[in-house]
Amino acid sequence: MSLRFTYECLPSRIVFRTGALDELAIETARLGSRALVISTPGQRRLAERCVELLGQKAAAVYDKAKMHTPGVAVREACADAQQLQVDCCVAIGGGSTIGLAKAIAFHQKLPILAVPTTYSGSEVTSIWGYTENGIKHVAKDAHVQPRTVIYDPLLTLGLPPGVSGPSGVNAIAHCVEALYSESANPLVSLMAEEGIRALGRSLPKVVNEPRDVEARSDALYGAWLGGCVLGAVGMALHHKLCHVLGGAFNLPHAETHTIVLPHAVAYNAAAAPEAMRRIAGALGVDDAARGLFDLNLSLGAWVALKDIGMPESGIDQAVELATKNPYYNPAPIRADAIRELLVNAWEGKRP
Ligand code: NAD
């Protein structure tokens, strides 16, 4: 079959090296002269280190970033940004912190410099969202894409193994679905395959030896690739299921991705053989779905939805939500098959 694709390359400046946080002041000066530094309460100290590095260019720290970006936090942070007359944001933390910076950027039209400390990949996408009255709204907007990203593996050394593993598998999930995306293209598929390879080899080391800088660097490299492909092409059934489960049962984001991924891959195996071949090859295993499940076990991650708070009685509701307005998916979406997938994921069965 001859090639056919449309690809829009997202612009961003990437500074990647061990110790790269040292360049924060120089890099921030490219975007503005008065920055609001954003973090979660738990990472306040890191945010204060940014203030020290920025000196006069730091206006204040806003340390109230939270999972799912509540609308009330967005309004409060926007009011602070206006009152302080900042002209850029520095977001240091995981997807939740970067998510709040994106919401501020959307309303205030401010450029973002992102310093990720997890493997979520949000720092290189134009996808943003917020939660209002229990409903998560997600959209794409070029204004929210961070202009500069500083990747410094040293900042991830303290990410606990129990957070690192699922966060890294969340990045693998972006790569996996990019390989069978409706809008897949050859360059993005290369990045996706390389992302799976980098994360597959580095995550077991990261979990066993969290302070191994080389393994952390490799995992962050894979996370960057995961974010790039997430921002570039559409996702499929796996992301739809995780969105549904996270929203309906308030399940933790990265853990839900980790548990569901092997089952979503098994669901799509027959319909996307070339993607399966590339996933398995990148992991160095015979079967993509089983290889992903075994990787989760080796990371000591949860493998059953029942263990992260999903009630068994919620399976039918999840089937209904997941089959309503489904995303594109290589295998047809059938309620009975989705139910079987969810039962297997709930029980933690090896695919
Ligand atoms: P998170 O940002 O919620 O971080 C999890 C916890 O780890 C937080 O308490 C945080 O303070 C802490 N933490 C972060 N880095 C640490 C470090 N280096 N050391 C110690 N503790 C650290 O989790 P996440 O998985 O990074 O992000 C999840 C959120 O990001 C979800 O809301 C998800 O929807 C969103 N997301 C968005 C995109 C996008 O493109 N917009 C992509 C992926 C995820």
CA of 96 to the centre of ligand 1 (A): 5
Ligand 1 atom having least distance to the Cα of 40 = 11
Reported residue count of the chain is: 351
Task: Write the pLDDT tens digit of every residue in 191-219.
Answer: 999 999 999 999 999 999 999 999 999 99
CA distance 196 to 283: 7
- State mean pLDDT over 138-166: 96
Residue 247 has pLDDT above 90, yes or no: no
Nearest to 308, CA basis, from 349, 266, 347: 347
Query: Where in the chain does DSSP place strands (E)?
Result: 13-16, 35-38, 58-62, 88-93, 112-116, 127-132, 135-140, 148-151
Question: Which residues lie with the beta carbon below 6 Å from any ligand 1 atom?
Answer: 40, 42-43, 67-68, 93-97, 99, 117-118, 120-122, 125, 127-128, 155-156, 158-159, 163, 167, 230, 253-254
| Closest by Cα among 348, 193, 350, 329 to 287 | 350
Tokens of 128: 């943003």
For the segment 8-20, what is each residue's pLDDT rounded down to a tens digit?
A: 888 899 999 999 9
How much of the chain exceeds pLDDT 70, in percent?
99
User: 306-333 pLDDT, tens per residue?
Assistant: 999 999 999 999 999 999 887 899 999 9
pLDDT tens figures, 73-122: 999 999 999 999 999 999 999 999 999 999 999 999 999 999 999 999 99
Sheet containing strand 148-151, strands side by side: 13-16, 148-151, 112-116, 88-93, 35-38, 58-62
In this structure, the residue with its CA closest to atom 28 of ligand 1 is 95
- To test the ligand 1 pocket, which listed residue (10, 40, 130) has its Cβ within 8 A of the most ligand atoms? 40
Percent of residues, the chain, with pLDDT higher than 90: 92
Q: Which residues pair with 15 in a beta bridge?
A: 150
d(CA 116, CA 134): 26
Does this model's pTM top 0.85?
A: yes
Q: Cα separation of 342 and 326, whole Å?
A: 15
Does 299 have pLDDT greater than 90?
yes
- The H or E element that residue 266 is part of is helix 253-268
> Which pLDDT score, from 0 to 100, does residue 37 have?
98
* Residue minimizing CA distance to atom 36 of ligand 1: 95
The residue whose CA has the least distance to atom 27 of ligand 1 is 95
* Ligand 1 atom 42 nearest Cα: 122
For 28-44, give the DSSP string.
Answer: HHTT-SSEEEE--GGGH
- Single out the residue of 241, 269, 302 nearest to residue 176, CA to CA: 269
CA distance 228 to 14: 11
- pLDDT tier at 32, thresholds 50, 70, 90: very high
Beta strand 88-93 with 135-140: parallel, antiparallel or unpaired?
unpaired
d(CA 46, CA 317): 41
Centroid of ligand 1 to alpha carbon of 157 (angstroms):
15
Tens-place pLDDT, residues 262-280 = 999 999 999 999 999 999 9
pLDDT of residue 3: 87
Nearest atom (ligand 1) to Cα of 66: 3
What values do phi and psi take at 116, rounded to 5? Answer: -70, 140
CA distance 316 to 309: 16
Can you say how many angstroms the Cα of residue 260 is from the centroid of all Cα atoms in its chain? Answer: 15
CB 351 within 8 A of CB 266: yes
Ligand 1: atom nearest CA of 156 is 18
With a cut of 90, say whether residue 294 has pLDDT above it: yes
How remote is the CA of residue 176 from the centroid of ligand 1, in Å?
A: 20
CA of 220 to the centre of ligand 1 (A): 14
